Structure 1
Amino acid sequence: MHNHLHIVLHVDSEPIENWSTDEVLQRWDQLFKWTLLTQKYSNRQPLYKFQLATVKSTVEMYKQRLIDISWFMRSLNEPIARQANREDQCTGHFWEGRFKSQALLDEAALLLCMAYVDLNPIRAGIAVTPEQSDFTSIQRRIKAAITGEQPTCLLPFTGNEPHQESTGACIYFSLQDYLTLVDETGRLLGDDKRGAIDTTSATILARLHINDES
């Protein structure tokens, strides 16, 4: 949106327990600067025992921050705000306000929240259909679905039942059903919303010629 964004996040905290010290430092270095001691450790410079202990405690702190939503939002929002202020030649707050978070405790809550987020451009009158909603997950899923694929950067839909071959996090719901859910929900216009999908338009699966095989 113009001054805020909506994100549905899955915090994958289990793999981080198996990360080595070097892997944690490597990931942290992609976002922030190392301390003098962690830099020496990564360069294989000799350290005293108390210095190694400090590196270990620092790495544990980095682990927690790498799965912390607040640190994620900081890493995402701050560079965007700085860039926007440079382009507009101004200072001050760019974002509408500090982010708010809500835990999604079951599949129903997850799907409803995803649909809400994917329909934001339509509700705001920025787009008229999900496939025309730029910078949304639904648009990326639609482009992939046309060729019978799913985006690798988003959690995949695996159908209504868990698959034995499924590894990692996934969404136990049909992609076809989700597209239909978004399309039909988007046709409803609430009193507090400006936009909706035209009720006379064809269904999303018909519009995009997505067949059962895809």
Structure 2
Amino acid sequence: MTIARAQLVALHLTTYYHCVSRCVRRAFLCGEDPLTGKSYAHRRDWVEQRILSLAQVYCIDICAYAVMSNHYHLVVHINQAKASQLPDSEVIERWKKEHQLPSLIQRYLKNQVSPSEAQACRRIIHLWRERLYSLSWFMKELNFSIARQANQEDQCRGHFWESRFKSQALLDERALLAAMAYTDLNPVRAGIAETPETSEYTALKRRLDSLVDNPPISSGLFPFVGESYQKKTDGLPFRLIDYIEWVDWVGRQIREGKPGYIDRNQPVILVRLSLGQTASFNLCTQFERKRCLWIGHPKRLQVVKHSLNRQRLHGFSI
């Protein structure tokens, strides 16, 4: 039975989600059409740039992404607290970057409205503020713009994406870590890249590239705050160096033809999260095979089940 998106995206349970959108057409989202020989590789750049652009408008932080030939993965953090703290003027400014402002709001900015009209404007601004942390609005605007560009290029009409995006709730740090590693390793698993640092159109490569720029530039992604996350909450609760080592370790385990593994220099993050090698390997290799909507520790899954008042929960425990 179909579950309402309002239940799938429950911010009182978790603010982290793994999303996937797949293309419906034979020519794929990107890559080369074997019949015509036409390359669509440039569309991967469309998707990457659109993700980064929308992240500057919406209060939705990008933790990881990977743009593949016929689908893309996103791991996001929904920053409701940030949206709630924005002044009305910034809410309007953010919304204006992607939408045309109604004349009433334009007059409101010029202080040319009556008290009743000002009240109506505040209701509109409140609605926009809620949309700025809405995952559904973010994904809709991302997919719509890519579909429109592709349809114009292909000179056709119709659906470009096979369905609404699929989402999985990440209930704890271990689920978040697994989802990010799984996403960043997609090109390696697909055999189109040998290592994570050579995987084009992934968040990890963008993070690494931003480190070697002189001077270093912002990647535009949700930052790693490491052990300081208790003091600075606006960031991923891991260290970047630990995450890089973790991805490299997992990549060695799940890639065919790579029998080696790291036995002495395990990432510090494994100890901090009490996540053993066997559990790590099973979780990352089964991440997409498990058609589940909620991922986390069994106790967290029980909390979700009781919170949603459900007898069964389509979840995967770790």
* AA partner of residue 99 (structure 1): F
Q: How much does 1:36 deviate?
A: 2.2
TM-superposition CA deviations, 1:157-196 (whole Å, max 9, x none):
233x2267x545122223222112212212234xxxxxx3
CA–CA distance in 2 between the matches of 1:186 and 1:87?
A: 36
Runs of 4+ more than 3 Å apart: 144-152, 200-203
Of the three residues 252, 276, 283, the one matched with 1:187 is: 252
Structure 2 residue aligned with 1:12: 79
Q: Is the 8 A contact 2:185 2:196 kept in 1?
A: yes
Q: Contact 1:31–1:75 (CA<8 Å) still a contact in 2?
A: no
1:25-174 to structure 2, matched below 5 A, reads 25-45=92-112, 47-146=113-212, 151-159=218-226, 161-162=227-228, 167-174=232-239
Measure the CA separation in 2 of the matches of 1:172 and 1:129.
24
- Answer whether contact 1:129 1:197 (CA < 8 A) is retained: no
Is the contact between residue 210 and residue 218 of structure 2 (CA under 8 Å) also seen in structure 1? yes
Inter-partner Cα distance in structure 1 for 2:186 and 2:225: 25
Identify which range, 51-60 or 178-187, moves more after superposition: 178-187
* Structure 1 residues not aligned, in runs of 5+: 190-195, 204-214
CA contact (8 A) 1:122 1:129 kept: yes
Return the match for 1:199 from 237, 241, 258. 258
Q: Offset of 1:80 from its aligned partner?
A: 1.0
Paired with 2:124 and 2:181, the residues of 1 have a C-alpha distance of 39
Q: CA RMSD in A?
A: 2.6
TM (normalized to structure 2)? 0.55
Contact 1:183–1:197 (8 Å) recurs in 2: no
Give the whole-Å Cα distance in 1 for the aligned partners of 2:235 and 2:248. Answer: 22
User: Does the aligned pair in 2 maintain the 1:122–1:197 contact within 8 Å?
Assistant: no
Q: Kindly indicate whether the alpha-carbon contact (under 8 Å) linking 2:206 and 2:219 is maintained by their aligned counterparts in 1.
A: no
Deviation at 1:74, TM superposition (A): 1.4
Task: Look up the match of 1:176.
Answer: 241
For these two proteins, the number of residue pairs brought into alignment is 194
* Distance of aligned partners of 1:108 and 1:147 in 2 relative to their CA distance in 1, 3 Å threshold: farther
Q: Which residue of 2 aligns with 1:192?
A: none
- Equivalent residue letter for 1:174: R
Aligned to 2:70: 3
Aligned to 1:209: none
Distance 1:141 1:121 in 2: 16
The CA distance in 2 between the partners of 1:91 and 1:201, in whole Å, is 48
Q: Give 5+ residue unaligned stretches, structure 2.
A: 1-67, 263-318
Please report how far the alpha carbon of residue 38 of structure 1 lies from its aligned counterpart in structure 2 after TM superposition: 1.0
**How far apart in 2 are the matches of 1:144 and 1:57?**
40
Aligned pair in 2 of structure 1 residues 105, 168: CA closer, same or farther (>3 Å)? same
Partners in 2 of 1:132 and 1:197 — Cα distance? 18
2-structure distance, mates of 1:147, 1:199: 31
Residue 21 of structure 1: aligned partner: 88
Q: Cα deviations across residues 14-73 of structure 1 (Å, max 9, x unaligned)?
A: 13223222221111111112122112112332x222211111111110110011000011
